[in-house]
């Protein structure tokens, strides 16, 4: 009896010590992969809140956000287009698919896969000042990572160039026009772009209505119609082009703003580093964070650089420090493994979508899409087809001169050609939206093509 | 012997079980005040990083940030003006104190006291889209808290008004000028302000050089000199005024932009809700987050509201979603306890600084500061003196017409009167900077005054 008791004591003690050891390991190593150096204090509440919201199920067809509308004490699911219900599980059958806009949600799964490295915690007292320690309004650490990204991708020369941040590339487009424009109001600079072109160039220039510049439309029409001697021109060159993905170069050859929003390996083979006086990039089309409103310009000339800085300072006194911190976190992940994980993911996504789109469209005689030509990509070190962000669709039947209306009748919403100063016979369809949006687009296009009388039979 | 062994087993088991219980409590309740509902996964790494950086000691005279320059594997201390060394412990004795700029660091201790509630965790996939679920670029939840804040403080009418967000109030100032200006280029609107006024009004208007408007300077000079009939005027009214803290009203009485950056209970008694067509506020002077670049306008007229929205859209396509999320978090804390904790802290800080400043300056005949008049504050429900963000210092000696130079010789850097379109006999000194900056300022001023031959003896 005593012996049994003794064994029991001994056994229980052993078990108890083992549990202690397990607890101790748990305390110091933590549940995740990371070693917690000390228990969390002030950041834990926010972390718990973020993880709880992230765990809300929206059936894979939507997402709940910590700043979403709150119902019954928790944020509601925000559903993808055509999906509804409290958990986004209900597909509305006759719903029009949205292929308008440039929301780059195709990158979202990458960030969910890299949740731990890309999360950021911002303390209540984080950078309350207008300026950083070096008296600028731009984070030096962030600039370092931007330069690193370009040196990895080899898509732009940054050595000996200035880098300036803006509220998306949107702000920098206008800032660059101001910086390059004439300050002589009697002869404002002529702002031009080659059709089809991104409508913001015109909209911004017209809206700000500055005495320094005026929008003069398409480069080619301007060249043939310009009888004056005012050769003070600022030319926008979008390469790859929005809407059609073409690699472009300056037509006029004077002061030029290179909009390189889409100059990343998932959209186009990188044939060599771009080496121009003013080059503009945006986070939106690199990592997919359109909502973060962050872009940057790489500028050769000190005088132009300082004018862009002045613009930023007068317009809104710099870019939010919270945004800069988050962008830093995202770029740290983006440059990991020399950018291979990020660009492999994004390229695979885009090329898969193009393969499937091409397969459907090849059966059609009613619609055509832009030609793509293989080029050697210095980043992937092989020859590849471009996989542009947008399909530039042409309605081939003579009577179907309003292609947007034709597609809309088939429940596909695109962006009409005239928006880009082209014919309405063209429509832009976005291929960078969520997987749900793409799947619905492909389904609608397939239905369309299968109804064609003259469709090319491949079955 | 057996008995001793038995007791030992029993005792050890008891201790061991006790440790188990303690570990169990630790696991489920955590180190902080909050109960973790589930163990953290993806957010823990960022949380640990943020807490580790926050724990870096900078001797109370500086701060380390997660996005700071990294040296030896961790971000370096960024020291307050006049402090140096790796841990900011070294005060540079002859250093000039900085009372320039409007960095509102006086609020920083409040946010450190409310660390847990004000921290925010942003996931890598947070709001990648350009727009929120309701297709706007502004968070509805955030708008709700902005309205709540005004209804608590009773400083502005928001019922039936539109709210629009901007990149700081800076962006909204210009957006409002565009929205109110003539679209007829042959007679641009005249932009005016009453001296002394905030220099950005002029700088922005001149910089954008729009055909829609032109800067015409001081209201009073304009009224007496204006011989034309062009009464198309846009008047900036800053109330309380920057630099002198005066409550102001429109002089011309036409289209008016009320800049209410400083209309909060820590700077001025709230005498009643402001009820104007266009009112602009900024987070910077409410919570102290200047680096966050967030402001908002309250607008009566739908047409003006839509024009401001257009401006924001053309200028930079909305405000970063990261910023909006952080502002939401901060305002949630700010409205707690009907704003009493926040405004009690900030008012106490400002009134203490004014008490000490007044005590020093009352001994001087060389310098004077603005008069302050008590008013009933509807927020605190008692009569109080204003405690403006800036001291508006006048050099009283006739020969000391450049007051900034006089102060600079005494190692005090202010902002000269001419910056505000006033005489250089005046200088603005900031009272909203860090405690270190304020203490140094007061020390320098005390030295200055004690050296005065004609100083008023109170000892």
Place of tokens 């929206």: A58
| Tens of pLDDT, residues A332-362 | 999 999 999 999 999 999 999 999 999 999 9
* pLDDT value at residue A187: 87
Nearest to A203 among B19, B69, B314 (CB): B314
pLDDT at B174 over 90: yes
Beta strand residue intervals within A77-136, DSSP E: 78-79, 83-84, 90-91, 97-98, 120-122
Quick check: B205 and B197 in contact, CB under 8 A? no
CA distance A132 to chain B (A): 9
For A80, nearest residue in chain B (alpha carbons): B133
Spatial distance between the Cα atoms of B15 and B8, rounded to a whole number of angstroms: 11
Q: Do A24 and B20 touch (CB under 8 A)?
A: no
Choose among A183, A208, A192, A187: nearest CA to B211: A208
d(Cα B259, Cα B377) in Å, to the nearest integer? 20
Of A29, A112, A74, A49, nearest to B37 by C-alpha is A49
**Alpha-helical segments (H) within A388-453:** 403-409, 435-451
DSSP string, A168-218: HHHHHHHHHHHHHS-S-TTSPEEEEEPSS--THHHHHHHHH-BTTEEEEEE
CA distance A148 to chain B (A): 16
Whether A20 sits inside 8 A of B24 (CB atoms) is: no
Burial of B233 (0-12, 13-18, 19+ CB in 10 A): buried
**Which of A26, A118, A127 has its CB closest to that of B65?**
A127
How many Å lie between the alpha carbon of A213 and the closest alpha carbon of chain B? 10
pLDDT level of residue B28 (50, 70, 90 thresholds): very low
pLDDT score for B31: 38
How close does chain A come to B92, measured CA to CA in Å? 17
Look up residue B168 and give its two tokens: 């700081």
Res. A392: pLDDT tops 80: yes
B390-395 and B367-368 strand pairing: antiparallel
Percent pLDDT > 70 in chain A is: 89
Confidence of residue B242 (pLDDT cuts 50, 70, 90): very high
Contact call for B121 and A318, based on CB within 8 A: no
pLDDT tens by residue, B67-84? 999 999 999 999 999 999
pLDDT of residue B207: 96
Looking at beta carbons, which residues of chain A come within 8 Å of B310? 207
User: Nearest to residue A137, comparing CAs of A122, A147, A146, A127?
Assistant: A127
Strand ranges (E), A31-159: 62-63, 70-71, 74-75, 78-79, 83-84, 90-91, 97-98, 120-122
What the block records as the tokens of B311 is 């401006």
A39 interaction partners in chain B (CB closer than 8 Å): 26, 30-32
Q: Give residue A183's pLDDT.
A: 79
Alpha helices by DSSP H, A340-434: 340-361, 403-409
Look at residue A228 in the predicted model and tell me its pLDDT.
Answer: 64
Would the pLDDT of B12 be above 90?
A: no
pLDDT score recorded for residue A455: 62
CB contact under 8 A, A67 and B2: no
Burial of B27 (0-12, 13-18, 19+ CB in 10 A): middle
User: Quick check: A314 and B117 CB within 8 A?
Assistant: no
Give pLDDT, residue B320: 98
Contact B212, B186 (CB under 8 A): no
> What residue ranges define each of the domains in chain A, with the CATH number in brackets?
47-95 (2.10.25.30), 140-336 (3.40.640.10), 340-451 (3.90.1150.10)
- What is the arithmetic mean of pLDDT over B115-141? 97
Residue B433's Cα: distance from chain center in Å?
10
pLDDT, one tens digit per residue, over A114-145 is: 999 999 999 999 999 999 999 999 999 999 99
Inter-chain CB proximity A209 and B204 less than 8 Å: no
Contact across the interface for A320 and B292, Cβ inside 8 Å? yes
- Count CB atoms within 10 A of the CB of residue A77: 24
What ipTM was reported for this prediction? 0.92
Are B207 and A105 an interchain contact pair (Cβ–Cβ within 8 Å)?
no
Task: For residue range A9-64, list pLDDT tens digits in order.
Answer: 555 555 555 555 544 444 433 333 444 456 899 999 999 999 999 999 999 999 99
């Amino acid at each position: 009896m005593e012996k049994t008791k003794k064994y029991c004591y001994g056994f229980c003690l052993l078990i108890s010590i083992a549990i202690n050891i397990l607890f101790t390991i748990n305390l110091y190593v933590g549940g995740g992969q990371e070693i917690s150096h000390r228990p969390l204090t002030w950041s834990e509440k926010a972390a718990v809140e973020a993880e709880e919201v992230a765990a809300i199920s929206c059936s894979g067809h939507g997402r709940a956000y910590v700043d979403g509308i709150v119902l019954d004490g928790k944020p509601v699911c925000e559903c993808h287009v055509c999906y509804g219900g409290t958990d986004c599980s209900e597909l509305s059958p006759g719903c029009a698919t949205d292929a308008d806009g440039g929301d780059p949600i195709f990158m979202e799964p990458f960030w969910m896969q890299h949740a731990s490295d890309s999360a950021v915690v911002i303390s209540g007292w984080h950078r309350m000042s207008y300026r950083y320690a070096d008296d600028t309004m731009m984070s030096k650490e962030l600039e370092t990572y931007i330069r690193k990204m370009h040196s990895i991708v080899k898509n732009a020369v940054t050595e000996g160039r200035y880098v300036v941040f803006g509220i998306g590339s949107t702000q920098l487009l206008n800032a660059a026009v101001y910086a390059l424009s004439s300050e002589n109001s009697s002869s404002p600079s002529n702002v031009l772009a080659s059709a089809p072109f991104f409508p913001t160039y015109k909209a911004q220039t017209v809206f700000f209505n500055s005495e320094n510049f005026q929008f003069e439309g398409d480069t080619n029409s301007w060249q043939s119609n310009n009888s004056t001697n005012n050769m003070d021109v600022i030319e926008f060159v979008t390469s790859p082009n929005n809407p059609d993905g073409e690699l472009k170069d300056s037509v006029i050859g004077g002061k030029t703003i290179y909009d390189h929003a889409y100059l990343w390996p998932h959209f186009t083979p990188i044939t060599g580093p771009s080496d121009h006086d003013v080059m503009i990039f945006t986070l939106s089309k690199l990592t997919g964070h359109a909502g973060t409103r962050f872009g940057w310009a790489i500028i050769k000339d000190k005088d132009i650089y300082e004018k862009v800085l002045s613009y930023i300072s007068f317009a809104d006194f710099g870019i939010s420090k919270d945004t800069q911190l988050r962008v830093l976190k995202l770029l740290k992940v983006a440059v990991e493994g020399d950018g291979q994980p990020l660009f492999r993911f994004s390229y695979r996504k885009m090329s898969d979508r193009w393969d499937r789109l091409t397969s459907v469209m090849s059966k059609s005689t009613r619609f055509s899409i832009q030609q793509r030509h293989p080029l050697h990509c210095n980043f992937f070190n092989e020859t590849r087809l471009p996989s542009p962000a947008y399909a530039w669709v042409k309605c081939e039947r003579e009577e179907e001169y309003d292609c947007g209306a034709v597609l809309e009748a088939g429940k596909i919403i695109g962006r009409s050609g005239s928006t880009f100063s082209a014919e309405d016979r063209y429509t832009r369809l976005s291929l960078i939206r969520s997987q749900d949006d793409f799947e619905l687009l492909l389904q609608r296009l397939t239905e369309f093509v299968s109804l064609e009388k003259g469709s090319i039979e491949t079955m």
